Structure 1
Amino acid sequence: MTDWTIPSRRVPRQRAIIDRRALSGAIATLAREQGEAARPAVLAVLQEALEKGRTELESRLEEKPSAGHAITLGYAFLTDQLIRVIHDYVTEHLLPASNRTAAERLAIVAVGGYGRAEMAPHSDVDIAFITPMKRSPWCEQAIEAMLYLLWDLGLKVGHSSRTIGDTMQLAKDDLTICTSLLEGRLIWGDQPVYDELRARFWSEVVRGNERQFLARKLDERNARHKRMGDSRYVVEPNVKDGKGGLRDLQTLYWIGKYMHRVQSAAELVDVGLLTRTEYKGFRRAEGFLLAVRCHMHILTRRAEDRLTFDLQRQVAERMNFADRPGKSAVERFMQFYFLQAKRVGSLTGVFLAHLEEEASRSKVRRGFFAGWSARPRNLRGYVVESGRIKAPGDNWFTDDPVRLIEMFQLAEAEGLEIHPETMRQADRDARAIDGSVRRDKRANALFLDLLAGRNDPETALRWMNEAGVFGRFVPDFGRVNAQMQFDMYHHYTVDEHTIRAIGLLSQIERGLLEDDHPRATKQIHRVGSRRALFVAVLLHDIAKGRGGDHSVLGAQVAKRLCPRFGLDAKETELVQWLVLQHLLMSSTAQKRDLTDPKTIEDFVAEVKTLDRLRNLAILTAVDIRAVGPGTWNSWKGQLLGELYDAAQERLRLGHKRTGRAARVKARKAAVSEILGGSDAGRASLVEDLSGNLADAYWIAEPEDIIAENLTLYDEARRSGARLSLRCLVDEERGATLVSVIAADHPGLFYRIAGGIHLAGGNIIDARIHTTRDGYAIDNFLVQDLNEEPMREDSQIERLERHIDEALFGEAELVPRLAARPLSHARAKAFAVAPRVNFDNLASNHFTVVEVSARDRPALLNRLAHALFKASLIVQSAHVTAYGEMASDTFYVTDLTGGKITAPERLAEIEAALLSAASDKRQRESEDA
């Protein structure tokens, strides 16, 4: 029997990993001395060899943390040797057969990733036991004995045992089996059986089915991408199956091998599917991704392929990434990861486009159109054929590098794709873009036309980014290329987020998102300069990762870049302001009380003009929505709409605004109309009850909520019930309105909040009012953990029960709340230092307290309890979540109704809130 090694690749210092001859000798000795009773001792020797090999490979990975190819090859070699030793032990000592019949021939074939000799530490051992004909009893016993030894070693074995004929039939019908056989490699056993398997596979399965395999493989790839988020820039990528991951590289190899019979990735160069430079990029990306996967398996001690936040820190450390000014080690590691994923994407696009072109050339036309093909046309010197734009020569871009911008602009304007060969040229020649090209007026005009294109600028800009042209032409954008933000709020890298935001802006302009963004769809056609708005979206996050306030630094970048792009002084000033203040509207809407006139006054004082307001509102909408799926919801839309309408009215009227008394009168009339419209008998409630409600209540609450409150308040007074509670699904606000009427007493707010948290609800907004006859009217907007209203009857029942128990039950709230699991278990990976800010200028009547901390169960309840213990009265609360971080804002007064201004008092409150917001209590609960 020939001693097969892994083809064309030798493992260095093999005996340090496993010495097969020594191991076989030790096992043979045990078998001779103990016979069949030797099995436990044999297993122990095998286990020791396995652990020794794994330890050696782990130490090699520590020495060379990026040696992905060498380590995965090493694990395949270790597995090979163990299987060979096990095979020999079974066939020579347990089931010896001196003269095997034709039916007792057996080949052990590595398939899938193992067949490719790429194994991470805890990869499955995928093997096929192949016999030439129906298995004999001896073969069945031998296979079973080998499998039991492999299982007893703790290996996860994926196995099949078939005849050659059965294997061929299954490979024709099953794409997975066909793909795994494509990489079949003989580990040990009968060479002629393996040779026959390979010959029949290529002749019976592959030949004539190349196009079908390609189509099925691409369908499989697209379905996998969809499952994994359909972006290579998701912040917790799947290294194996995600877009831009190892499976995409392997798919290229499978297709190339199937279509062109290549035996290694290097041969893809020989058949013209990759250039030598692209192949080097292939190997570099593959080696890095394999190394990352090995580190993940070692850290978790299992086959873990999702690069989660907690693993990102650990892998970055193991791979020797270090902190740099403005960018942490983990962010640098992930940026490098996404650059490799981007390279995989570029290779995939060029590779598949080549195959598609090959296929189109080989198609035979029949019928009326036989012999006919569309003539190429000329477009500014480019060749346009079959909907693709193509450079006419190899030196096209180096002769005039401005064409690198022009090509993408033409593709966007004309609705064309870019020929793969031309994309390859652009990628190769992008380095021709230097300072003179960046200063070229024509190049900048073309770029601005592309950025603000009327068709689909998002796709063209993404192509431009994939080719490396975008970052070359706008180096500031190149700095954020593939840069992730290490938090749970942002779903994409900065460049991907920006390109998506530009795409959303284009969709709003074309009226495609009118249902979600009716104001933006209307107002975008009224902005003073649409191109300034597109530039502002491009630049709003351009300065992230520079170690300072990215809004301030970004405004400086805008001041420098806008004139270069061709914007005039007025447009440049607008873009600067938009970049500087791009977070102002979302922060105001989500963290401030929009019924407080001072909130609107302060916001308008910064905005100053209607044109700025329109631009900022649209930028805010696309910025939030481009963060990731689910970040935009109806509640955020409602808040931003309220702020927009209030600010627009204030800007139109100037200093003229309706007086407080007139506003209260108008609100009462509107509520009377609502109540009278539903029930004539209820119309008098406004007059009957308004004497018990302060003007602040009528100003603070929306008309529809006041109407609900008055009905509930009247029922409470008439019945004398200790608690009146109503839960209504409010689709417009994207939440469930929980209205509570109860006798007012200290601590009511934090207890209700605790009950809502126990019921599984998240409070996103709360307003607290006290009537003159001693009732509290508290309104909460509540969502479930998926940021949806709590709609189900069981959810409503749970809310009502837990609020009642929180207010009147004897059980302690704090221990029950602390025992609840984190709403985001992944938040444990982040250290968020709690912060407390006081603002006595944001409101004329209240001190505004903002607390930022790691999001966890009942944070609002704890903070409200700390405010209660500090003898403060909460007027309203506003809750905003940013992934792992929550920001809770309270409008408070002291017991006399005044602001808190004394420094020592503020320091005392800050200490209490920091203690309530700290992770210590949560960690103690988790440990318990």
Structure 2
Amino acid sequence: MLEPPRFALIANRREIIDRRTAMAELQALPSEDLQTQATAVLNQALERGRAEIARRFAIEPGRGRVIAASYCFLADQIVRLAYDVVTMRIHPRPEGAECRVSIIGLGGTGRGEMAPFSDLDLMFLVPEHGSEWCGKVIETLLYMLWDLKLKVGQSVRTPSQVVEAARDDVTNRTAMLEARWIWGDRDLSKEAERRFKSEVVAGSARDYVAAKLAERDARHKRMGDSRYVVEPNVKDGKGGLRDLHTLYWIGQYVFGVERPAELVDKGLFSAAEFRRFERAERFFWSVRCHLHLIAGRAEERLGFDVQRQIAEAMRYADRPGKSAVERFMQFYFLNAKAVGDLTGLFLAQLDEQMGEKGRRFALPTLRRRPKHLHGFTLERGRLSVPSDHWLADDPVRLVELFALAATEGLEIHPTAMRYASRDARLVDHVRDDPKANAQFLDVLTARAKPDTVLRWMNEAGVFGRFVPDFGRVVAQMQFDMYHHYTVDEHSIRAIGLLSQIERGELADDHPLSTALFKQIASRRVLYVAVLLHDIAKGRGGDHSLLGADVAMALCPRFGLDDAETETVAWLVRYHLLLSNTAFRRDVSDPKTVEDFVRAVQSPERLRLLLILTVVDIRAVGPGTWNDWKRQLLRTLFDAAEERLRLGHKQRGRQEQVEGRQRQLAEALPWKASAIRAHIRRLPDSYWLAEPPEWQHANALQVAAAEAHIGDAEPSVVAAPDSVSGMTRISVFAPDRPGLFYRIAAALSGAGASIVDARIHTTRDGMALDNLLVTDARGKAYEDSRLRKRIANAIDKALRTDMEPPPPPIGDLPSREQAFRVAPRALVSEKASSRTTVVEVNARDRPGLLARLALVIHSAGHQLHSAHIATYGERAVDVFYLTRSDGKKLTDVEGEMLRSELLVAATAGS
């Protein structure tokens, strides 16, 4: 291929670079210091060309494919000019068959498409017995390209070495598949191309396809194995450019196509499907080129820090309920979804053409034949349709196709998926059909892997049309650091987790949810609630309230009765209640449990809410669920379940306190008098708030401190915590104003983050504080030396009379600067019977908690507990406090504190 088809897209090429004019300048240069002068001329041409391409891109920011071709065209011309000046003037070519060099473009250079900072991937072909001249030319040419600051990937090979390398490695084979002669000896290039096709490609199509698909799967796994991660890799991520390249490579290798459009001629795509291929390719190339230019380097990860800038560059605008960046990313994921759809169709056609009769090419053939197909057919073990108009003749079949796949455990044939995608709009006519809705419920509540079939249904476009409210959140991202997936993918993953819990597959991770599932009255209520819990995101209001309205309208259509509908709507309305209460409130405060129980009202709702909460958190993304969250949820669930069962808060509370005290007494080899003294000095809230393991560790720490240190000296212990998987800091010291601030400031200075803090004052005036901390990566301090260093930092802060200065406001990493969180402070007198509860929402950053603690200390208030929750870039810090005299804050004091906390939370934002 002399010139890639991409170059035909470029208008007015000579405005980018005029090779004739540049060559005339090079020819006119004097012989002295020719290489340096020639490099300067080429550098000017390169800079002018880049400036012209950037100018065009600014005018037409969506023409990324043309821009990629333009960068490659410019690189081609620079290489040709450099080769000509080297072989004509610096090292003139002598006569002889061995004095030949052919310059071959590989990878993107071979395809004729390069992002602004892509490598210039070149192979220098030389004869089997090359001459010294060949080496001089290649060396001089490379030095000139390096002096132009081009990043060159290079290799020097003979035709025989090309064949040998391609045989041994599939990556080299793909590189040669895309190889394109750029300049130099044409005959040498033709020889290598001929030998590659006859000695490597011939007869190896099956092996190549299998290897490329395995390579693709491994790449997907490295990149998160989802098209819907919120910081996708444009080039290598699932549904990205490399997936499109893979389809083209297979088409090239198996069918000899020379341009993507020929995939239609080979029957691998229809004309409409290929238009989707081209639209996705154009979009991804636009995004990739913008990404390179904004980053100023070869960057492929579409991080939060650049998403806003690219959305602006591509002229996306805000809309009610959805920002410009969210609209841009939604379009990104819709294109990634299109790539996934096209991949399935392509591989199905490939399978049909390459598979042996009655067997499948790439996947095993199903041996079991279902008994009832209701007119549908089986093709090589996959569910299909008898004709191309079968689904259109009765649109209910569009839902029945997926219901059969779910109940029979069948894969859907891509031809049937193609027809379903084509006819998806017809499902609009059967949305209210009872049969279609019953079949949809069969898919949603299938016993085995409903998420897989729902994902197929979503990819075909049937899901979003049958449930238009769900269609509104398809490919919708949430622009924050907490959610890892788009809203639709998050919901489908949650359903998959729910199904795993029901089947008992997650009993080790979620024993309580697994046990509770067997007790719930209506499993379909739970499945529908999980589907709908985020259905109203992106509408510009409280998605829980709006989602409850959606549930009230949809559930009767799905066939749920009035009671089931009311329960689903309640679960959607309150799906964050359990987690917000457990993570942000003091569960040892009776008022917390009382308020929670008043909202829940029934044990059935409590069971359903717990399971919904678990799958919701787990489906957010990797690492979001941890043992600490499990512990907090379990503690609140147990307290609420006991309250609902006993019907009297005091009886349950006192029983729990006495039970914890007996448990500790049994675990400690102490005299009864020592046990009684220890129990009497600690308030009831301590026994309710702390896990038994911590109470045991605290007792030993207190005893050791009083035996060896003395009452006036602080004792600080930093130890691994098996309950949470984090690091526990326990401080036993004389109580004093500002104690928590000193601890928080010391931890901030040591680079530790406080996850939770509970502050207790003994009846004899000592403070016993338990904190959970992590390092800057959110991990426990596993190194004992680091734990000792943290303990020493706190000990030093507690022993000095000087109050530590406020922690500095550090700069956020560039990735995190894209996020804005409007600070908010709330003061509640009714959330606790004994204390005032203050909640601060703010941008999470180092030292935030210490600065808030300083405000509370400076106001003269007494802190009783602090509960810290982070959701990506957002921190929610909740403080239980009183005035110095132990009474709640007055309205005036509360408002003054709220204003001062807002100032502290806003600093540095």
TM-score by length of 1: 0.94
Q: 2:91 aligns with which of 86, 90, 95?
A: 95
In structure 1, what is the Cα distance between the partners aligned to 2:416 and 2:262? 22
Q: 1:562 aligns with which of 530, 555, 560?
A: 555
Maintained 8 Å contact 2:6/2:66: no
What SS class does the counterpart of residue 518 from structure 2 fall into? Answer: helix
In structure 2, what is the Cα distance between the partners aligned to 1:892 and 1:149? 70
What SS class does the counterpart of residue 418 from structure 1 fall into? Answer: coil
- The residue number in structure 2 matching 1:38 is 34
- The residue number in structure 2 matching 1:740 is 731
In structure 2, what is the Cα distance between the partners aligned to 1:699 and 1:655? 16
Q: 2:281 aligns with which of 278, 282, 286?
A: 286
Please list every run of 5 or more consecutive structure 1 residues that lacks an aligned counterpart in the other structure: 366-371, 924-928
In structure 2, what is the Cα distance between the partners aligned to 1:590 and 1:312? 30
In structure 2, what is the Cα distance between the partners aligned to 1:574 and 1:142? 78
- The residue number in structure 1 matching 2:900 is 912
Report deviation, 1:626. 0.3
Equivalent residue letter for 2:790:
L
The alpha-carbon distance between structure 1 residues 113 and 362, as it changes in their structure 2 partners (threshold 3 A), is farther
- The residue number in structure 2 matching 1:328 is 323
Report deviation, 1:105. 1.6
Superposed, 1:341-740 pairs within 5 Å as 341-361=336-356, 379-434=373-428, 436-655=429-648, 657-658=650-651, 664-675=657-668, 679=669, 681=670, 683-721=672-710, 722-740=713-731
Q: Does 1:270 align with 2:265?
A: yes
What SS class does the counterpart of residue 109 from structure 1 fall into? Answer: strand
Maintained 8 Å contact 1:376/1:385: no
In structure 2, what is the Cα distance between the partners aligned to 1:330 and 1:159? 38
- The residue number in structure 1 matching 2:788 is 797
Equivalent residue letter for 1:906:
G
Report deviation, 1:790. 2.7
Maintained 8 Å contact 1:426/1:467: yes
In structure 1, what is the Cα distance between the partners aligned to 2:7 and 2:848? 60
What SS class does the counterpart of residue 860 from structure 2 fall into? Answer: coil
Q: Which moves more between the two structures, 425-434 or 151-160?
A: 425-434
% same residue: 54
Deviation per residue, 1:579-608 (Å, 9 max, x gap): 000000000000000000000000000000
Report deviation, 1:820. 6.4
Maintained 8 Å contact 2:642/2:652: no
Deviation per residue, 1:2-57 (Å, 9 max, x gap): 99676772521111101110000011101xxx204233222222111111111111
Report deviation, 1:908. 1.8
In structure 1, what is the Cα distance between the partners aligned to 2:671 and 2:124? 81
In structure 1, what is the Cα distance between the partners aligned to 2:693 and 2:774? 19
Equivalent residue letter for 2:125:
I
What SS class does the counterpart of residue 636 from structure 2 fall into? Answer: helix
Equivalent residue letter for 2:858:
K
Equivalent residue letter for 1:170:
A
Q: 2:853 aligns with which of 857, 864, 872?
A: 864
- The residue number in structure 1 matching 2:109 is 114
Report deviation, 1:763. 1.7
Q: Does 1:193 align with 2:184?
A: no
Q: Does 1:315 align with 2:310?
A: yes
In structure 2, what is the Cα distance between the partners aligned to 1:511 and 1:696? 36
TM-score by length of 2: 0.96
- The residue number in structure 2 matching 1:832 is 821
In structure 1, what is the Cα distance between the partners aligned to 2:578 and 2:430? 37
Report deviation, 1:134. 2.3
Q: Does 1:59 align with 2:55?
A: yes
- The residue number in structure 1 matching 2:69 is 73
- The residue number in structure 2 matching 1:818 is 808
In structure 1, what is the Cα distance between the partners aligned to 2:498 and 2:491? 11
Report deviation, 1:351. 1.2
In structure 2, what is the Cα distance between the partners aligned to 1:614 and 1:631? 21
In structure 1, what is the Cα distance between the partners aligned to 2:654 and 2:443? 53
Maintained 8 Å contact 1:539/1:558: yes
- The residue number in structure 1 matching 2:250 is 255
Deviation per residue, 1:209-247 (Å, 9 max, x gap): 111111111111111111111111000000001111100
- The residue number in structure 1 matching 2:839 is 850
- The residue number in structure 1 matching 2:165 is 170
Superposed, 1:238-253 pairs within 5 Å as 238-253=233-248
In structure 1, what is the Cα distance between the partners aligned to 2:369 and 2:662? 72
- The residue number in structure 1 matching 2:363 is none
Q: Which moves more between the two structures, 204-213 or 910-919?
A: 910-919
Report deviation, 1:569. 0.4
The alpha-carbon distance between structure 1 residues 363 and 182, as it changes in their structure 2 partners (threshold 3 A), is farther
In structure 1, what is the Cα distance between the partners aligned to 2:558 and 2:755? 42
Report deviation, 1:796. 1.8
Report deviation, 1:175. 1.5
In structure 2, what is the Cα distance between the partners aligned to 1:912 and 1:205? 74
Deviation per residue, 1:792-837 (Å, 9 max, x gap): 212321221221232235898557x437675x76322211121111
In structure 2, what is the Cα distance between the partners aligned to 1:399 and 1:659? 63
Deviation per residue, 1:128-182 (Å, 9 max, x gap): 1112322211111111111111110011001111111111111111211111111
What SS class does the counterpart of residue 837 from structure 1 fall into? Answer: strand
- The residue number in structure 2 matching 1:926 is none
The alpha-carbon distance between structure 1 residues 540 and 601, as it changes in their structure 2 partners (threshold 3 A), is same
Maintained 8 Å contact 1:686/1:710: no
In structure 2, what is the Cα distance between the partners aligned to 1:8 and 1:160? 25
Q: Does 1:898 align with 2:887?
A: yes
Deviation per residue, 1:636-682 (Å, 9 max, x gap): 1111111111111111112364176665444433321222xxx2x35
What SS class does the counterpart of residue 33 from structure 2 fall into? Answer: helix
Q: Does 1:806 align with 2:805?
A: no
In structure 2, what is the Cα distance between the partners aligned to 1:682 and 1:781? 31
Maintained 8 Å contact 1:673/1:683: no
Q: 1:130 aligns with which of 120, 125, 148?
A: 125
What SS class does the counterpart of residue 439 from structure 1 fall into? Answer: coil
Equivalent residue letter for 2:23:
S
Report deviation, 1:359. 3.2
The alpha-carbon distance between structure 1 residues 364 and 854, as it changes in their structure 2 partners (threshold 3 A), is closer
What SS class does the counterpart of residue 899 from structure 1 fall into? Answer: coil
The alpha-carbon distance between structure 1 residues 685 and 827, as it changes in their structure 2 partners (threshold 3 A), is farther
The alpha-carbon distance between structure 1 residues 624 and 879, as it changes in their structure 2 partners (threshold 3 A), is same
Maintained 8 Å contact 1:685/1:711: no
The alpha-carbon distance between structure 1 residues 549 and 364, as it changes in their structure 2 partners (threshold 3 A), is closer
- The residue number in structure 2 matching 1:369 is none
In structure 2, what is the Cα distance between the partners aligned to 1:228 and 1:152? 34
Maintained 8 Å contact 2:588/2:685: no
Maintained 8 Å contact 1:709/1:739: yes
The alpha-carbon distance between structure 1 residues 7 and 918, as it changes in their structure 2 partners (threshold 3 A), is closer
In structure 2, what is the Cα distance between the partners aligned to 1:391 and 1:36? 76
Report deviation, 1:74. 0.7
Equivalent residue letter for 2:147:
D
Maintained 8 Å contact 1:377/1:384: no
What SS class does the counterpart of residue 31 from structure 2 fall into? Answer: helix
What SS class does the counterpart of residue 290 from structure 2 fall into? Answer: helix
Please list every run of 5 or more consecutive structure 2 residues that lacks an aligned counterpart in the other structure: 361-365
- The residue number in structure 1 matching 2:43 is 47
Report deviation, 1:205. 1.0
The alpha-carbon distance between structure 1 residues 245 and 682, as it changes in their structure 2 partners (threshold 3 A), is farther
Deviation per residue, 1:432-468 (Å, 9 max, x gap): 112x310111000000011011111000000010111
Maintained 8 Å contact 2:102/2:184: yes
What SS class does the counterpart of residue 306 from structure 2 fall into? Answer: helix
